[in-house]
Structures are given as C-alpha cells and as structure tokens.
Structure 1
Amino acid sequence: MDKVRFGIVGIGNMGSSHAKYLAQGTVQGAKLTAICDNRPERLTWAKENLGEEVRLFDNVEAMYASGEIDAVLIATPHYDHPTLAIQAFQHGLHVLCEKPAGVYTKQVREMNEAAGKTDKIFGMMYNQRTNPLYQKLRDLVTSGELGEIRRTNWIITNWYRPQSYYDSGGWRATWAGEGGGVLLNQDPHQLDLWQWTVDMMPVRVRAFCAFGKYHNIEVEDDVTAYVEYDNGATGLFVTTTGEAPGTNRYEVTGDRGKIVIEDGTMTFWRLRVSERQFNAEYKGGFGQPECWKCEIPIVGRETGHSGITQNFTDAILKGTPLLAPGVEGIKGLTLSNAMHLSSWLDDWVQLPIDEDLYYEKLQEKIRNSKFVKVTKEMTMNTDGTY
C-alpha cells in the first residue's frame, strides 16, 4: 500500500475541517475517497467542495463495505464513537477517532478490546499532543528533570460559549445527546494532556460540577476538581464555558522546581538542589533552595489535526509509533467520568471508577431529564462550518 484511502463519518464542523485538508493533499500518503453523513445538506456541501472523486454515502455500513477505504476518521457526536469504531474494526479498517473516545468508559473499554483483536492501527485525534510545549513538559517530567511530582494545577477557563452555541444542535449539552458539557466537549484535550504530561493518573477525585450555571443547559458548564496521586501529590482542575476573559495556565511542581505553560510559552524555575535535600541539610532559620529561571529549548511546531492524521497515516504505511494511540482515549475520559460521578454522589471517587455505577447514574440522568431543548438553526459558512 502506498496510499491510505480515508473515509470520514460525520461532516459537521470537525468532519468538514478534516475533509478539507485531506482533499487538499496536506497529509502525505493519504487520500480522501469517501464521506458518510445522514444529512442531505452536508452531502450537498461535500459534493460541491470536495471533488467528484469523493464518493458520498448516507449509510455507514455501505461505506465500510464499499472497498473504497482503508481507514475511517470518525467525527460524529460522542455516543457513536465506540460503536462506529467497533464496526470499522469488524470490516478490517484502520480507525482514527475524534475526541472524546466515548461518553462512558464502559463503552470505550469495549472499543479498546475490539481494537486489540485486530492488527489495524487505532488512533485518537488528540491534536494537542503535537504541541512541542506539552511534548517538552512530558520529556522533562519522565526524564526526572523536574523530580518527583508534588502538584499539578490547570486552570482552563478560556472556553467561553454563548447560549447560541448550545442552541445550534439538538444533541448539544444534553445527557442523552452529548453525555456531558464542558468536560466532554471542550476539555478532552486538557484532560488527556494532564495525565499524559505527568505520566500518571490520580487515585481519587473530588469534584464540584455546576449544571447549567451560566447557560440554559442541563449539563455542566463550570467545574472545580481536586485529585490525589499515589505518590501523595495533589492536583486541581478548574474549567468553565461561562467566564470571559478566560485563563489557560498549566503548572506542574516537582521537588526539583516548577514549570508553567501559559500564553504559548514555557517557564522553568529549576532548583539547584532538590527541596528534600535542602530541607535535610539546611541549618538556618529561614531559607530556600537556590532557584534558576531556565530557558528551555522548544523544538518544532504544533501541527494540530493534520499532524495527528499524518502520524496515523505514517503508522499504517511505515510503522511509525503513534503519538496518540486510540487505547489511551480511556484515560482522559476516566477523569471526566470520575468528576461527574463525584459530583453526582457528593463524595470522593476512587480510580479506577465503578463503571457500572457510572453508567447507571448516567442513565438515570437521561431517564429523569425534564429539560426541553430549544434548537435554533445557524447559518452555514462557505467553508462548511457554522
């Protein structure tokens, strides 16, 4: 195989974006050959903008069985991700899945098990893993340069969304349609990076979610979560879609210093000796370790969605290691599920979570919902977005 033939399921905002860069030949070794969407207007847009060579389908089974594709990029609403991925594996297709991996870990675990039974490549669209700042942070942590992790703190509140955003789709911001709010829609990248950069998951979570605090929605739009790690470290995650102007500041502290990523830059305050060593050896009344503000070389540039798709294509054609393996999608989702569950139970939640209990509580939310969704059609832009 010298070309990976891609089919895309779902041509909404993200699906149309993926379709455009694939159709333009941005990804070497990849070719867009098929599109599937059950909305006639989206297929009309695809026909007008993606070229005559791209086949159009309104049935995913037909596209999977067509022989026109080698890999599928799934860009549908969240609940469908695992089901569509499992179907694709059964048809012998490679799978690249948009975030989040799913809505609840029980269904994602089934997707991972299906992937494990094949020799096909399975990737997640965690495009922010291509950001060299986060790659360097992971490098500094895993190499031991920062020492033992003491604290993680991510304030990610620059997700402001007006009410019109939530009104733009019938599935948005409902338990039945989306399965959550800011944690499921906006934050999957940060939740993934949070555990990926420090290379560890918490052991327990206590979260406080506010549901419909700033918008007429039934899911969370404001979250403050506290976590504890096995080594005694603690962490804080704060997020919302109702705050303007927002902040995006990620801080990781170890016993050898502190790293802050904010405004597209990294700052590393490095201790000359570890805090533990200084604490044991210093004999004065007041004092602290000598600290250097270090310039860290950042190599490369963020390649985003097309970068992940290029890496995925290279994994198929050349055996290149995946930057974002699909089986790792369950980790960030575990964090959001734990935050929901902690808030619903008003208590601590241990990890790994009780998957059956989470599913039961989610179904209760769906079953008992009294929320009336009001949908207002938005105007489609010429680039296929709204």
Structure 2
Amino acid sequence: MEEQVFRTAIVGCGNIFPMHAIPVMKEAHANLVAVCDTKPDRVQSACDRFGCKGYTDFEEMLNCEKPDVVHICTPHFLHAPFACLAMEHGCHVLTEKPMAIRLEDAQNMLDTAERTGKTLGVIFQNRYNAGSQLIRECLDRGELGQIRAARMILTWDRSPEYYSKSDWKGTWDKEGGGVLIDQAIHTLDLMRWLIGKPVTGVQVSLANRTHPDILVEDTAEGRISFEGGVYGVFYVMNHYCEDEPVRLELNCTHGKAVMQGPRAEVKLDNGRVYQADNDPRQMFEYGDVKQYWGTSHVKQVHNFYEHLAGKAPLYITAQDAFLTQKMICALYEHGRKNFSRETV
C-alpha cells in the first residue's frame, strides 16, 4: 500500500530550522514544499539547500502552497498566532517549545485545534532521550517505587553576543523570559512528566546577575510542589563558563535515578543497576548547530507523522505540553514580583 505523504512547510529558518528540515527530508510521510522567514537571505539559503519554494510572508505561503502540515520554528511570541492561523487554514501543526509566552495564548491554541479538528504537537524532544526513556520505564514497572523528590541543575553559558545578535532574545514581550523559558524548560518538562502528578504550587527567585543589556532573568532557583507531597527543586543559570550536562535526579522509595544530559543511571535498593545513553548511530548531521538539539528531534517528528498517517498514537500531546506551559507561566507569575537585576 502506498504511503500517505503530507505536504509540509516550515516557518522560521533560524538556528533550530535544521532540526526540523532534516528529519522532514528523511520522513517517508512528508514532502517539504516550502519555507518562510522574514529574512530573505535565510529563505534563499534554505531553498538552495532543500530544493523547495520560499516565502517571506507566512499567510501568503499558506494560501499559495496549501500545506497539510506546518512546523513552527519562529521566535517564541509568534508560536501561538502562527499555529492558530495555520490550523484555521486546515494545517496540522508541530511547534517548537514553548507553546506560547502567555497561558491564554496557549489555551487558544488548544481551543483552535479542537475547533478545527487539526493535530497540534509541541516539541519536547528530550523525552525521547535514552536516559529519559529508561527512567520512565523503571517508574512504569514500579521498580523505583514512588518518587519522593526531584532536583535539577542547569549551568550553561549564554554570552552577551548571544543576545546582542538577536532581535528577540532577552525580552519579555518576544522571548517571554530568559533561562527558564528558553534553556531550562526542557528539563523542567522532564521533571514534571516523570513525576506525573498535578502541580499544586510554585516558589521561585529570578535574577539577572551578569547580563545588564537584557531585561530577563539569567538565574532562577525554586521549588515546585506536586500532588501527594512530592516536590522538585531546581537551580538554573546561563552565565557559567561553558555548557555543562544538565543533571536531573529522582529520589524514590526503592532507589534513585540520575540523568546527566541524555545519559541515565538507575540504582535500585536491591542492588540492580540500569544504564542508558543515546545511540551515536542514531545521530544525524544537522550542520553548524548544537548537536544536542537534534538527537531526538527526528524521533518526535517521525512520531508526529506516524500519528497523522494513522499508524501510532501521539506520544506528546498538546494537552500534556500545556501542563508544562502552565507550570512555566506560574513560575514567572511568582518570580517577577521580586525580580532582581543587580548585575555584577
């Protein structure tokens, strides 16, 4: 039987674009027909590389190409309006994280998907990492028992040039925040997903310690409370000297699970030890980008198209991604009340 192939378009040809374009080109159910970006040089470069049509106006692309699927790789503040516009034009949508920068916009995305009957997906590719999958399986089998608490540490480096070269990074109205919504959101999503219980409260302190030219936080520490007395604590910052592997630990009644980057080790109280790491044979060459971005993008993109083709359930639903968005928005609502900008 002939495979169903979806006409695919990608909006946003910046840094994250290859993480979607390469998997789409390798996907049996997808045919990349067009790309869009407000910067003509980016459009031309993408068209030359992937042999597709190019546009600088998103709605024009929707009207002319009538794609079945749109991938959204734009600045954060455009995720929600572009997703809703695409769904209104009859497209399924797979958007980069975060869903939006405001909770009401994310809710509007869910409402639009329900009204139009279109599938909405949100990229949280780190759930597909080998370490994440190992811990999930151990929890589901009951080997780790119940989660008591979690802790997460992220110490990365984002230079002043990282922000000065961007026309949207480091702003509340376009990025929606700093280290929390951009760098730490993936691992905070893993924490929430693995704990698997509703968030009941948050506490957080936000500060800008070393980036005087941006408006948002470069440091955050806090505590997230979950139903049943489980809690997670975190410390995240993007002014270290280099990007260290993110560390996530789950302290459980029957053992402990530790992730560093994509690698995980599960030590049970009965002496059994499990380990997992991403298979280097599954790596793709994405070009001049941070390789850790794309290790598992291809897996989530494939699942999205398998779902559209009726072959698999959607592994990460928009409703589940919304719970992470709700948690991130709650952290900002609490933290911005006493936001510190005393840079040193």
Q: Which residue of 1 aligns with 2:93?
A: 95
Residues 138 and 198 of structure 1 are in contact (CA less than 8 Å); yes or no, is this contact kept in structure 2?
Answer: no
In structure 1, distance between residues paired with 2:104 and 2:261: 36
User: Greater CA radius of gyration, 1 or 2?
Assistant: 1
**Does residue 339 of the first structure (1) align with residue 340 of the second (2)?**
no
Distance 1:233 1:21, change over 3 A: closer
2:252 to 248, 251, 254: 254
Task: Calculate the TM-score normalised by the size of structure 2.
Answer: 0.87
Q: How many Å apart are 1:68 and its aligned residue?
A: 4.1
2:157 to 155, 160, 171: 160
In structure 2, distance between residues paired with 1:148 and 1:304: 27
Residues 212 and 218 of structure 1 are in contact (CA less than 8 Å); yes or no, is this contact kept in structure 2?
Answer: no
Q: Which residue of 1 aligns with 2:291?
A: none
Residues 136 and 298 of structure 1 are in contact (CA less than 8 Å); yes or no, is this contact kept in structure 2?
Answer: no
Q: How many Å apart are 1:16 and its aligned residue?
A: 4.1
In structure 1, distance between residues paired with 2:166 and 2:219: 20
Identity across matched positions, percent? 29
Q: Secondary structure at the match of 1:160?
A: coil
Q: Provide, for residues 113-143 of structure 1, a one-character-per-residue CA deviation record: whole Å limited to 9, x for no partner.
A: 1111233222112111211210121222233
Q: Which residue of 2 aligns with 1:233?
A: 230
In structure 2, distance between residues paired with 1:12 and 1:296: 35
In structure 2, distance between residues paired with 1:257 and 1:17: 35
**Does residue 129 of the first structure (1) align with residue 127 of the second (2)?**
yes
Gaps of 5+ in 2: 284-294, 340-344
Q: Which residue of 1 aligns with 2:38?
A: 38
In structure 2, distance between residues paired with 1:160 and 1:201: 31
Instruction: Give the residue type in structure 2 aligned to 1:181.
Output: G
**Does residue 5 of the first structure (1) align with residue 7 of the second (2)?**
yes
Residues 138 and 199 of structure 1 are in contact (CA less than 8 Å); yes or no, is this contact kept in structure 2?
Answer: no
Gaps of 5+ in 1: 273-291, 348-386
Aligned length: 324
Q: How many Å apart are 1:319 and its aligned residue?
A: 3.5
Q: Secondary structure at the match of 1:207?
A: strand
Q: Which residue of 2 aligns with 1:219?
A: 216
Q: How many Å apart are 1:191 and its aligned residue?
A: 1.9
Distance 1:38 1:253, change over 3 A: same
Task: Calculate the TM-score normalised by the size of structure 1.
Answer: 0.78
In structure 1, distance between residues paired with 2:188 and 2:275: 24
Instruction: Give the residue type in structure 2 aligned to 1:47.
Output: C
Residues 101 and 330 of structure 1 are in contact (CA less than 8 Å); yes or no, is this contact kept in structure 2?
Answer: yes
In structure 1, distance between residues paired with 2:165 and 2:272: 46
In structure 2, distance between residues paired with 1:255 and 1:28: 44
Residues 263 and 276 of structure 2 are in contact (CA less than 8 Å); yes or no, is this contact kept in structure 1?
Answer: no
Distance 1:35 1:220, change over 3 A: same
1:19 to 15, 18, 21: 21
Q: Which residue of 1 aligns with 2:298?
A: 306
Q: Which residue of 2 aligns with 1:77?
A: 75
